[in-house]
Each structure stands twice: as structure tokens, then as C-alpha cells.
Amino acid sequence: MVENKPIVYVISDSVGETAELVVRAAASQFDGKQINIRRIPYVEDRETVDEVMTLAMENDGIIAFTLVIPGLREYLIEEAGKKNIPLYDILSPMMMLLQRKFNKIPKNEPGLVHALDENYFRKVEAIEFAVKYDDGRDPRGILRADVVLVGVSRTSKTPLSQYLAHKRLKVANIPLVPEVDPPPELFHIPKDKVIGLTISSEKLNTIRTERLKALGLKEEANYAKFQRIEEELVHSKRIMEQLGCDVIDVSNKAVEETANIIYHMIQKRKEK
């Protein structure tokens, strides 16, 4: 039975993250929610390739792939051609271009982009740091962080921390709540390490209302009331002014956009 949403099968002899990102980027131009992506990582044999092609034929699907093992790549291209399966090779055109430019033969080894180098370990360390010092769990992280995010609940502090961790930045985040004094450590670090996150009361009301619905709670809860939201925003603004930190309005920004703004701010400061 063919599914309503078009299916893209992503085949890789490594993790498959690169191929999926390319597919999602392309799909975003056609409303990315209207496709179904099935990632098949660590493909090393023809049997798995055959299984995916069978699924693609049954579901009128598309195959996108990043296979660097020559024999496997050639087999997929040849067999998909015979079966008239729409196929897209993500890596080969760029590899061929670089091969001509460098006048070298590529290694054709899967997973080299995820090699266990120093950058990889720094990324893992930063991700673990973001988890450990999320939501003000341990204020000692403030003193060790590259950047500290502060803001009221639902200003994307946690997803921003994780996103920036993938860029190898150690991030701690602190919720600002009127009933709780901020950790003293927050006032003992350079102000340029602190980033305040603010949001419009209307946007925050919408986000919190949806959050309550997702949790199966009543929309009338104090958490989403405008009076409570205004109280929190006034309190957070006062704390940010005391800290003298930069403030970013996240009301109409995607997490990725805000994260890139923060990342470039941090990089500029490091260059000074």
C-alpha cells in the first residue's frame, strides 16, 4: 500500500546524517512536513540494498544515498536504473570534482567525517556538559561554561544549549523565576559570557498553552496566564539589566537562527 506522503529512503555506509540533512534541506522548499524520510545507515552488503529497492518500488519511493564503497555504489546505481527507481547520488559529484582538483584518488572509506579526532571528543564533551548543567541543575557549571543562557521558561534554552554543543561550545542555562534568586555565580563571570533570551508575551502564551495541551493539563493553568507571563518577563528583564548582558529576542526566530547569532557573537569575542 502506497503511503500518502512521498517516501525518501536514505542509504549510507556510515551514519547517513549528511544525506538526511541534504534531503530535509531540499524538502523544506516544498513544505518538509509532507515527506517521510527513512534512514538506513551502515549499509555494507547488496542484500540490504536489494531490500531498500524493493521497499522503494512497493511504495513509489525515492532513494538518496551516500555510498563511498565503489562496488556497492555501482551496484545500487545499476540495479535502480533497471528498476526505474528515482535515485540521487549526494556525494559522488563533489568527490569527482575534488578528485580532479587535487589530482588524487579518494580513500573511499565510510565514516571519515565522523573520525574520532580532537574535534569529535570536544563535541561529545560539550554535549555532556550541556546535559549536566541544563536548567540550572548545578550552578558550578556557570563558572566553567563558554556561554550561559538565561531566560524564562520556554525561551528555547535547552535546545539552544544542545545546538551550540554540537559546535563544541560548553553551554549552561539558567531559568529566571521571580520566586528564585539567580545563582551568585552568574554575577561572578564576565558579562560577555552571558546571553539573555527574551520573548513577547503573546508568543510565550501560545507556546506555553500548547505545552500544557501536550502534557494533558488545563490551558487555564497559571503557567500560561498573561499576568504570570508579564510578571516573569519583567523579572527577567530586571536581572538581565543587572547582569549587563546582551539580549536576544527569540519571539520570531527558529532555534537554528538564534544559535547561529549566539555562535557568531562568541566567535567575534574570541577574536578580540
Extract the annotated binding site for ADP. 151-158
Detail the residues annotated as belonging to a binding site.
Answer: 151-158
End-to-end Cα, the chain, rounded Å: 60
- Phi/psi of residue 136, each to 5°? 70, 25
- Cβ contacts of 181-189, under 8 Å, gap ≥ 24: 182/150, 182/239, 183/136, 183/139, 183/142, 184/139, 185/139, 185/140, 185/142, 185/143, 186/139, 186/142, 186/148, 186/150, 186/243, 187/242, 187/243, 188/143, 189/142, 189/143, 189/145, 189/148
**Residues 20, 39: contact at Cβ < 8 Å?**
yes
Task: Kindly list the strands in the beta sheet with 36-40, ordered across the sheet, starting from the edge strand earlier in the chain.
Answer: 36-40, 7-12, 62-66, 87-89
